[in-house]
Structure 1
Amino acid sequence: MTLHFRSDGILHVNVITEQEVTADQVKETVDFTKNILKGERAPHLITTEKPYVIPNNEAREYLASRHREEISCADAYILKSLAQKIIAKFYIRINKPRIPTNFFTDNDSAINWLKTFI
């Protein structure tokens, strides 16, 4: 994963993998982000390089937990495939993220939505 703190205050997390995203990867990214933000929270734009990359069940549970609440005030995911859209519905209904979470098919719409949390 790569992290880029944009000038508008949005943290862009780009997932670069061809495998399922694991809870360990998410935990590592959250810990790293805590060090960058130093107690602050920022809206997150989450993108993937590959359309079939999805988080596994444990990763989704961690993403929806209080740990993410410590670093993010809102999450916008860019979806590129039907598989990602199906997992997104499960994530909202089953995992029930603790922070505002929305799904988009384009960056501009996601960024406009995230700016309402800055």
Structure 2
Amino acid sequence: MKSNYFQNQFAEYWLEDGVLFFIYKPGTSMNLEAAKQVVKDRLEVQRGESYPVFCDMRGIKDSDKPARDFLAKEGSSLVRSVAVLTDSPVTKIMLNFYLTISKPLVPTKMFTDKDQALEYLKHLTVQA
């Protein structure tokens, strides 16, 4: 059951079965201002609680380095782990580079299958 549903011009957020779902809207351009807004709104939805995060990036059309750097560090606040869903070959390359260079502060893995992504989060939650 969805709770704490919220949306802004960049994404939709909600809590479901102990996971924070974070779905970027189609055509989203991610710059530093947008990154700060999505993190601010995500923290509002979470109400001080830490969650594993399912992040569907398929809607992102582009992003800049300041936004990626911000999300890699400050964007990890109150996040236990992240499963990123993507289907774009270009995004996969960028994300692999990001995961190697930016070194997110929480376990983060990329997926092309939603069920596998959710299983990853569930597995990490059980281990914690």
Place the TM-score, normalised by the shorter chain, in its bin. 0.7 to 0.9
Q: TM-score, normalized by length of structure 1?
A: 0.86
Cα distance, 1:19 vs structure 2: 4.2
Cα distance, 1:49 vs structure 2: 4.6
Measured against aligned partners, the alpha-carbon deviations of 1:31-67 in whole angstroms (never above 9, x if no partner) come to 11222222211111111454x62432111101110x2
What is aligned with 1:2? 12
Aligned partners of 1:54 and 1:87 also within 8 Å = no
What is aligned with 2:119? 112
Secondary structure of residue in 1 paired with 2:78: coil
Q: How well do the aligned residues superpose, as a CA RMSD in angstroms?
A: 1.7
What are the residue-to-residue correspondences of 1:1-80 with 2, within 5 Å? 1-6=11-16, 8-50=17-59, 53-65=61-73, 67-80=74-87
Matched length: 115
Runs (4+) of structure 1 exceeding 6 A deviation are: none
Q: Which moved more, 1:105-114 or 1:9-18?
A: 9-18
Aligned partners of 1:39 and 1:70 also within 8 Å = no
Q: Which amino acid aligns with 1:41?
A: S
Higher RCO (C-alpha 8 Å, min separation 6):
1
Identity over aligned pairs, percent = 26
Unaligned runs of 5+ in 1: none
Aligned partners of 1:64 and 1:98 also within 8 Å = yes
1:108–1:98 CA distance, 2 compared to 1 (3 A): same
Match status 1:98 vs 2:108:
no
Distance 2:90 2:108 in 1: 18
Unaligned runs of 5+ in 2: 1-10
